[in-house]
Structure 1
Amino acid sequence: MSTPDIPVASALNPTANRPAAPLTWPTAWRQPAFRARLGLVLLLLLALASQLPRYFAWVQARPGYHLPDPLLVWLPAHDVSGATFVVIYLGIALGVATLLPRPALLLRALWAYLLLQLLRCATLWLLPLEPPPGLVLLRDPLVDYLFYAAPSPITKDLFFSGHTATLLLLALAVPAGLRRRLLLLATGAVGTLVLIQHAHYTYDVLAAPLFVWLAWRGSAWAWAWAWKESC
C-alpha cells in the first residue's frame, strides 16, 4: 500500500481535489487546522502516557488466564532481549527520521499511534492473561523506567504485542520503498524474537496487524473530524 507525501489541500482538507505542492513544515505551520490537530494529538498522547504506569500496575496485579500455545511448547525459550531492542530502536529511529520531514504523514502516524495505544489498553482490559510458560523476562530500560510503575516486572501486558505493532505501524506510515521494506523485515524479526523469548503468546503477535490496520484506518477518520472541528 503506497503512502505518498500528501499535498497541502488533501492533507488539511479531505474534500479538496485540486492539485497542490507537497506539504512542508513552513506551509503546514501556517495552517491553523494543522497546528490544532498536532497540538491536540500531542496533548492526548501526554495525557495517556501519564496514566499508563498505574494502568499497567493494575494489569499486572489482576489474575489472568493461560492460553494453550503449541508453537511455544515446541520452541525453546532464550534470552534475546539485546537483539530485540536493537531491532526495535533502529526501526523506530528509521521510521521517525523518515516521517519528520513529512509533516502530513507524521501527523497521521501520531493519530494512528494514539488509537493503537487505546486499542491495546482496551484489549488488555478485556483479555487478562498470565505470562506464557517459560517466559524469559524481556527488559526494556526506557519503557520499564517511564511507563511501568509496579513493584515487580510487568509480564501481563500481552494481547496484543505492542513492539510488533509499533514497527508495523511505522511501516504503513512511511512512503513505499526501501525504508518500508526494512521496517516490515524489522516487524517480522521482532515478532519472532519475542516468541523466542516467550514474552508473548503466538496469538499476541498474529493479532498485531489487525489492530494496526484498525488504528491506521481510524486515523483517517480522526483527520476528517479534526478538519470539520477547525472549520
Structure 2
Amino acid sequence: MIFDEREQVLWADAWSNTSFKIKFFGGLSLVAVTLSLYPLFFDYIEQRNGKVLNDFFLQKLPAKNVSTPVFTIIWSMGALTLYQVISNPRIAINTIWCFLLIALTRVVSISLWHLDPPTELIPLIDPLSNTFYGGKFITKDLFYSGHTATQFLMFLCLEKRIDKILALISTVMIGILVLIQHVHYTLDVLTAPLFAYLCFKASQWLLKQF
C-alpha cells in the first residue's frame, strides 16, 4: 500500500507521489483495456455449451424479476463509493486495482467453468451495465457473481464504519436478489465474497511491491 491506513491522505499529497501517479493511471488504463475486451469475451462464452448445475436451493426459489431493486442498490452504492473515491486517494487506488483483479479473475473462472444458466433465468434489465456486455444481456458469465463480488469489494475498500455497514448490507441483498432472479447459481453467489477478498489482498500486495 502506498499510504499508511491510519493517515489522512489528500489528493495534493497523492499527486506529489510519483509511485501513486504511475499506479493510479496504470490501473485505470488496465481497467479500460479489460472492459473494452469484455464484449468479445462474452460473445465467445455465449456461443459455447456448458453444464446446468443441480442447485437444490434455486429449485425451491420461485423466479421473479427484481431488476429495479438490484440496480437501485448497485448504482446507489456505486455513487457512494465514487464520492469516497473522489475524497480519498487511498480508497481510489485500492478500488481501481481490486476491481481490475476481480475483472481478470472472472475471465479466468468463467473460462474454466463451462456453465449454462439456471433454467428459470429472468434477464436483468439495466441499459448502462449492459453496455459493458456488448449491449445485450449475457447469461453465461456465472462463476463467480460479479454483482455480489463488486458490492463486497466496496465493503473492503471503503473506510468509514457506516459506509462499510451499507456495503455489507448491499452485498447480502444483491446476493439474494440475483438468486431470486435466477441469473446465478447459489455457488456463484457464496464464493463471490471470497474471490473479492482474495483480489483485495492481492491488490494490496501488488501496490506494496511496485
TM-score normalized with structure 2 length: 0.95
Give the alignment's Cα RMSD to 1 decimal: 1.7
Answer whether contact 2:84 2:91 (CA < 8 A) is retained.
Answer: no
Counterpart for residue 47 of structure 1 = 33
Residue correspondence of structure 1 range 1-231 to structure 2 within 5 A: 11-12=2-3, 22-144=8-130, 146-149=131-134, 153-226=137-210
- Name the aligned partner's letter for residue 147 of structure 1: F
State the distance in 2 between where 1:136 and 1:119 align: 25
State the distance in 2 between where 1:223 and 1:149 align: 31
State the distance in 2 between where 1:201 and 1:81 align: 17
Show CA shifts across 1:52-79 (max 9, x none): 1100110111101110101111000000
Q: Relative to structure 1, is the Cα distance of residues 33 and 64 closer, same or farther in structure 2, using a 3 angstrom cutoff?
A: same
State the distance in 2 between where 1:20 and 1:111 align: 20
Secondary structure of 2:2's counterpart equals helix
Show CA shifts across 1:84-139 (max 9, x none): 11011111111221232110121011111101111111000000110102111112
Q: Which has the larger radius of gyration?
A: 1
Answer whether contact 1:11 1:23 (CA < 8 A) is retained.
Answer: no
State the distance in 1 between where 2:54 and 2:196 align: 24
Q: Percent identity?
A: 37
Q: Relative to structure 1, is the Cα distance of residues 21 and 197 closer, same or farther in structure 2, using a 3 angstrom cutoff?
A: closer
State the distance in 2 between where 1:207 and 1:142 align: 26
**Gap regions ≥5 residues in structure 2:** none
**Gap regions ≥5 residues in structure 1:** 1-9, 227-231
TM-score normalized with structure 1 length: 0.86
Q: How many corresponding residue pairs?
A: 210
Answer whether contact 1:98 1:174 (CA < 8 A) is retained.
Answer: yes
Deviation (angstroms), 1:159 = 0.7
